[in-house]
Amino acid sequence: MDRVMNFLASPAMKVVLLVAAILFPWVAASEYQIYVMALAFVWAIAVYGLNIITGYCGQLNLAHGGFFAIGAYAVGLLTVDYGWAFWPAFIAAGVLGAFFGFLVGVVSLRLKEHYFAIFTLCVGFIIYLLIEKWEELTHGTLGVISIAPPEGFGLVDFTETIPFYYLVLFFLVLAIWLISRISRSLVGRTFLAIRISDDLAQSLGINLMRNKVLAFVLSTTYAGLAGALLAGVVRFIGPDLAEITHTFDVITYLLVGGIGTLMGPLVGTLLITWITQAVQSFEEYRMIVFGPLLVVLVIFMPKGIVGTFLTWRGRRLASKAPARRAESRVGDSSDGNQGEAG
Interface residue list for other proteins (CB under 8 A): 178, 181-182, 185-190, 192-193, 195-197, 199-200, 202-208, 214, 218, 260, 303, 307, 310-311, 314-315, 317-319, 322, 325-326, 329-330, 334, 338, 341-342
**Between 22 and 204, CB nearer to other proteins:** 204
Closest separation between CB of residue 311 and other proteins, Å?
5
Closest contact distance (angstroms) between CB of 231 and other proteins is 26
Q: What is residue 237's three-state secondary structure?
A: strand
Amino acid letter, 33: Q
144, β-bridge pairs: 237
Nearer to other proteins, 110 or 315 (CB): 315
Query: Cβ of residue 185: shortest distance to other proteins, in angstroms?
Result: 4
Per DSSP, 281 falls in state G
* Shortest spacing between CB 81 and other proteins, in angstroms: 33
Q: Please, are residues 229 and 43 in contact by the beta-carbon 8 Å criterion? A: no
Q: What is the nearest approach in angstroms of other proteins to the Cβ of residue 341? A: 6
Q: Looking at beta carbons only, is 12 or 321 nearer to other proteins?
A: 321
Residue 39 and residue 41: Cα distance in Å, rounded? 5
DSSP β-bridge partners for residue 237? 144
Nearer to other proteins, 281 or 319 (CB): 319
Count of CA atoms in the C-beta half-sphere (13 A) of 164: 26
What letter does residue 30 receive in the DSSP assignment? S
Widest distance between CA atoms in the chain? 70
DSSP, residue by residue, 127-162? HHHHHHH-HHHH-GGG-EESPPPPP-TTT--TTSHH
- Closest approach, Cβ 334 to other proteins, in A, equals 7
